[in-house]
Each structure stands twice: as structure tokens, then as C-alpha cells.
Chains A and B, each alone.
Chain A
Amino acid sequence: MAKESSKQDPEEEKGGEFDDFMADISQEIAQRVESLDTKPKAKPQPEERKKTPAVLEAGVIVDWPNIAERMIEEMR
């Protein structure tokens, strides 16, 4: 399990260490979040059904009340 640290060229290494770390961690988090996302979805209230799906950041749809609405939206 021991990992001997091998030093690279300092210029080459600069910034790369954090990027490598981010890449690994991002993958790990993605897997964890996916495996944990088992919370039963509460039945949406009628007024919620009419809401536009919440978009917290460009291109990422975080909450669709139901699959039918998503299909309709995507077919538009």
C-alpha cells in the first residue's frame, strides 16, 4: 500500500498536481452521488408540476418532476 513519491520536473508539476487530484476526486464523487441517490422521490404537488425544471447551472438539469414532462421538453 506504500506509495513512494516520485518527484517530477517542478515546472511540469506546477498546477498538475491539483488537476490530477481534482480528476480523481470528481470521479469518486460522481460514483458516490450516483450510488447514494436512492431517496424516494416525493410525489410532486400539483403546483410543482407546472414549474419549469430547476436548472442550477447551465446544461445541468437537477430536478425533473416526472419523466413525461422531460420527454415533452426535450421534443420541443
Chain B
Amino acid sequence: MSVVNYGTREITCKIVYYGPGRSGKTTNLQHIYSKLPEERKGKMVSLATDTDRTLFFDFLPLDLGTISGFATRFQLYTVPGQVYYAATRRLVLQGVDGVVFVADSQSRQLAENIESLQDLHANLAEEGLDPRTLPLVMQYNKRDLPAGEISPIEELDETLNFRDVPYFSATAVNGGGVFETLRSVASLVLSRLSAPAVGES
């Protein structure tokens, strides 16, 4: 859980990119990583198979430096989208502060998007997190594909975004909408930051 730690002067937040396989979660992180100034570039850990599918998860530590006297770190994760990696997804969701749901805009992927969203809710509930209140942002990716292949934004939003959370159209492969999405989820997470109880550090 994200906490403002006045003792150690630290803020740490964990954000997870969730969604069906091949929706563009890793591509989001890769774009963010590519835009980091050299001095802030840590290591992006990406565990992928030979066929370029995320096998376990991606991890991108985002060290934002000292802001208002607090060392601020965002930890960005992706989950493996494939159905059979359910255990890994649950593991990655532990302690999550905010979720970006990366949906594949292709019409033929609608069922996979719905299944993944249901999986997210089930896993959050299993982790004791309330899927109705956890900071969540929807990203409708691959908007650069031909119009005939993708669902209209309105249709996707009506089907997937029943919480009416912020949503973004994106073409993560060339960076479109990636930082807008990150900024939005970061803002939601920060709005829920809590100070440690009195007596703690």
C-alpha cells in the first residue's frame, strides 16, 4: 500500500498494468522506459519467452527523485495476460495501489478483454482489495489499427468501464496515450495516499 512515510521521507506506489495477452502492457512500460532521462534509468526487468510473450511479469522501478523533500518511487508492473498464468497475476497484484487496464481495441478481442477484467476483479477480491474503489484507469490500445478491425471507443467504454473511471485512447506502440494514462493513474493513487498512523515512523 502506498504510504507517505514521514520518518524515512519516502513515498512508494505500486501500479500494475493488467489486461489480456498481447494488449500492449509491456509496450506501455517500454515506452515509459525509453523516455526516462539517463540519470533516472534503472533496470527494466522483463521476463519474456522466445516468442516475446511476457512469461512472468515486467518490472520498471521509476525513481522520481526527491519531491517536496520525499524520495518518490513508482513501481510499475505488468502481469502476464495469458489465462494460464493466473497465479502470477495474483502475486503481482499483492500490495497494488493502482491499476491500468490495457484493453485491446480489436473487435475480435472483446471477449478476452471482458474475461481479463473479470479475472482482475476476482484476483483483487482474493487479495482483499475492493475492485469498486481501487484506483483504476482504462486504456483502449491499438487505436491505430484500421477502423474496420477495432471497436469504437464508446462501445468499449460501455462494455468495460462500468465504474466510469478515466479512460484513454492509445497507440502504445508509438507512445500515444501512454504518459497520459500513467499520469491519470498516478494522480488517482496519490489522491489516496495515507500517512502512517501516529506512533509509526
- A interface with B by C-beta (< 8 Å): 1-5, 7, 13-15, 17-18, 20-22, 24-26, 28-30, 32-34, 36-40, 56-57, 60, 62
Give 9 CB contacts A-B under 8 Å: A2-B157, A3-B166, A5-B169, A25-B64, A25-B183, A28-B186, A28-B190, A29-B11, A33-B11
Query: Chain B contacts of A30 at CB under 8 A?
Result: 67-68
CB within 8 Å: A-B pair count: 97
Q: A62 CA to B166 CA in the complex, in Å?
A: 36
State whether the Cβ of B85 lies closer than 8 Å to any Cβ in chain A.
no
Q: A32 CA to B167 CA in the complex, in Å?
A: 23
- B interface with A by C-beta (< 8 Å): 4, 6, 9, 11, 32, 35-37, 40, 64, 66-70, 72, 153, 157, 164, 166-171, 174-180, 182-184, 186-187, 190-191, 193-195, 198
* B183 near A21: Cβ-Cβ < 8 Å: yes
Query: Chain B contacts of A7 at CB under 8 A?
Result: 174-176
Partner of B193 from the list A17, A26, A36, A38 (CB cut-off 8 Å) is A36
Closest approach, in angstroms, between the C-beta of B54 and any C-beta of chain A? 23
* B6 near A39: Cβ-Cβ < 8 Å: yes
Query: Chain A contacts of B169 at CB under 8 A?
Result: 2-5
Query: Chain B contacts of A56 at CB under 8 A?
Result: 9, 69
Partner of A17 from the list B69, B175, B194 (CB cut-off 8 Å) is B175
Known contacts A2-B168, A3-B177, A30-B67; is A25 also within 8 Å of B186 by CB?
A: yes
